[in-house]
């Protein structure tokens, strides 16, 4: 019904205006939305969208179809425990003897349950809350969701993860619904805003759950930088368990609590590599890139010489490249040591999980290999090499259908690169080579 070229143009427009990715992952959702809205002349529809701001009802109708705005109070008990027991107490302790001012941003707040949950958690933790200056800002691109949030009235479905006591304590019964108490609402404000373009003052805590995975890689990078800019030094950033940082991770420490993680922006005085004097950083990058080039052209001794110059620095990509070099030389024990070191520095370093998958395959532990590849794809959803190896693993287990799906995903991801571009620092495979490998497997 719709031409691929039309859909690609529309996807580019959606990305430019909102950051959302409808090129691959949500392409079918986009097609279904157009069909549901009975769009027959797609060119005219696109031309109309180009004239409008994303806040216009025509855009809002489309966004309603593309984004799942489903949420509820006290969502994800592990993250609630992390907020209640680690993050919010740390903020309170820091502010109690200074400004007594707390600023929190619920980015992508949907219908507001998350923002009000934060208000309730602070109320529970602050017996003297009336003496504090608290503002929780909720933003969402969906105007209909913001209107619901501003009213603060919710049906029973929003309370499916709470107790009756919770409703009785913090809400006022209405006809078939419950309204948030006015003293809690007082600390919360809602605005329609787009994450990739909004300007928000620096916050003590940003909660941005189930948002970044909707974005294209380039717009996710923009959004990550926006979140970083809007966070106080030593401020906290909480993403959903299904998301992580890919572009700004060097600016954050990773903390774990209640079997979940939270990111904390490094203080300005940090001595981590990301804040080293610029000449040293350039020198480090030059040496590292020289090591990568030597490794990818199979000059392993030269790569090792370069890496030895910077191996004293505790940086994940250096340790991971050392692990890959060890694998290339058949040093499986040495590789495992470096992989453990990498994952200690950053538990979400995708390439380390990928190499660990290779390590497990070599040791005939296919279950552990599959777990490692899942972790690699979770940490970097566009990691083509991980999908290729996952397909090989599925074929080894006799699951042809899942193997072909994984291989096809690997090929689609590789098509986004120049055919001569290497797909990873820790491998000597170019995009063109991977595409050929997949075609050979499929044939």
Dihedrals φ, ψ of 74, to 5°? 55, 40
Longest dimension (CA), the chain: 75
Q: Which residues contact 305 (CB under 8 A, 6 or more apart)?
A: none
- Any bridge partners for residue 107, and if so which? 139
pLDDT at 57 (0 to 100):
92
Q: Which residues contact 366 (CB under 8 A, 6 or more apart)?
A: 360, 393, 396, 397
Q: Determine the Cα–Cα distance for residues 235 and 316; give it in Å rounded to an integer.
A: 23
Q: Determine the Cα–Cα distance for residues 287 and 273; give it in Å rounded to an integer.
A: 14
Residues 323, 345 contacting (CB under 8 angstroms): no
Q: Determine the Cα–Cα distance for residues 271 and 119; give it in Å rounded to an integer.
A: 35
Bridge pairing between strands 188-192 and 177-180: unpaired
Q: Which residues contact 244 (CB under 8 A, 6 or more apart)?
A: 348, 378, 379
Pick the CATH number of 274-442 from 3.30.413.10, 1.25.40.320, 3.20.20.210, 1.25.40.10: 1.25.40.10
- Spell out the CATH class of 77-265: alpha beta
Place of tokens 């580019």: 12
- Where in the chain is CATH 1.25.40.10? 274-442
Query: HEC states along 72-104?
Result: CCCCCHHHHHHHHHHHHHHHHHHHHCCCCEEEE
Torsion, Cα of 41, 43, 45, 46 (10° steps)? 160
- Where in the chain is CATH 3.40.50.150? 77-265
Query: Residue 172: left if φ>0, alpha if ψ -120 to 50, beta else—which one?
Result: beta
- Going 214 to 216 to 221 to 223, the CA torsion angle's sign is negative
Residues 396, 407 contacting (CB under 8 angstroms): no
Query: Any idea how long the chain is?
Result: 443
Mean pLDDT by 10 residues, the chain (443 residues): 88 89 87 90 93 90 86 92 95 91 96 97 93 95 94 95 94 94 95 87 95 87 91 95 85 85 78 40 73 90 84 88 94 93 90 96 92 92 94 93 95 91 94 95 89
- Going 23 to 24 to 28 to 33, the CA torsion angle's sign is negative
Give me the long-range contacts of 193-197 (CB less than 8 A, separation at least 24). 193/139, 193/140, 193/141, 194/17, 194/18, 194/19, 194/54, 194/141, 195/19, 195/107, 195/108, 195/139, 195/141, 195/223, 195/226, 196/18, 196/19, 196/222, 196/223, 196/226
pLDDT at 277 (0 to 100):
39
Residues 52, 58 contacting (CB under 8 angstroms): yes
pLDDT at 283 (0 to 100):
65
- Any bridge partners for residue 257, and if so which? 260
pLDDT at 62 (0 to 100):
93
pLDDT at 274 (0 to 100):
41
Tokens of 9: 């143009």
pLDDT at 268 (0 to 100):
65
pLDDT at 270 (0 to 100):
42
Bridge pairing between strands 177-180 and 101-107: unpaired
Torsion, Cα of 337, 340, 344, 350 (10° steps)? 130
pLDDT at 273 (0 to 100):
41
Q: Determine the Cα–Cα distance for residues 148 and 192; give it in Å rounded to an integer.
A: 12
Tokens of 442: 């499929």
Q: Which residues contact 145 (CB under 8 A, 6 or more apart)?
A: 69, 109, 110, 111, 112
């Amino acid at each position: 019904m719709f031409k691929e070229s039309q859909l690609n143009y529309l996807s580019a427009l959606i990305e430019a205006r909102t950051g959302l990715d409808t090129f691959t992952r949500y392409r079918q959702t986009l097609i279904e939305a157009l069909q549901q809205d009975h769009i027959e002349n797609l060119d005219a529809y696109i031309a109309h969208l180009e004239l409008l701001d994303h806040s216009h009802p025509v855009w809002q109708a489309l966004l309603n179809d593309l984004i799942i705005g489903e949420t509820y109070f006290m969502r994800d008990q592990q993250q609630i425990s992390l907020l209640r027991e680690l993050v919010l107490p740390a903020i309170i302790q820091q502010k109690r003897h200074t400004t007594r001012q707390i600023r929190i941003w619920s980015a992508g707040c949907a219908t507001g349950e998350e923002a009000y949950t934060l208000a309730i958690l602070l109320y529970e933790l602050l017996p003297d809350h009336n003496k504090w200056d608290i503002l929780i800002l909720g933003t969402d691109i969906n105007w209909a969701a913001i209107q619901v949030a501003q009213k603060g009235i919710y049906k029973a479905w929003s309370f499916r993860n709470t107790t009756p006591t919770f409703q009785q304590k913090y809400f006022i019964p209405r006809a078939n619904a419950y309204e948030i108490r006015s003293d809690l609402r007082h600390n919360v404000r809602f605005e329609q805003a787009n994450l990739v373009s909004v300007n928000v003052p620096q916050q003590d805590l940003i909660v941005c759950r189930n948002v970044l995975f909707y974005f294209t890689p380039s717009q996710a990078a923009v959004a990550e930088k926006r979140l970083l800019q809007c966070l106080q030094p030593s401020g906290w950033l909480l993403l959903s368990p299904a998301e992580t940082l890919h572009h700004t991770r060097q600016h954050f420490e990773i903390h774990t609590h209640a079997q979940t993680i939270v990111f904390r922006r490094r203080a300005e005085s940090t001595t981590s590599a990301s804040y080293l004097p610029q000449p040293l950083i350039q020198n480090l990058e030059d040496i590292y890139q020289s090591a990568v080039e030597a490794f990818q052209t199979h000059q392993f001794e030269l790569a090792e010489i370069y890496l030895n110059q910077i191996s004293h620095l505790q940086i994940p990509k250096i340790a991971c490249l050392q692990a890959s070099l060890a694998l290339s030389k058949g040093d499986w024990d040495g590789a495992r040591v470096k992989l453990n070191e990498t994952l200690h520095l950053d538990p979400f370093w995708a390439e380390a999980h990928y190499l660990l998958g290779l390590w497990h395959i070599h040791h005939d532990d296919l279950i552990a290999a599959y777990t490692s590849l899942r972790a690699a794809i979770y940490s970097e959803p566009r990691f083509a090499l991980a999908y290729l190896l996952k397909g090989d693993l599925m074929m080894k287990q006799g699951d042809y259908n899942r193997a072909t799906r994984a291989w096809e995903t690997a090929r689609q991801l590789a098509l986004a690169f120049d055919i001569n571009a290497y797909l990873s620092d820790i491998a000597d495979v170019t995009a063109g080579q991977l595409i050929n490998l997949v075609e050979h497997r499929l044939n």
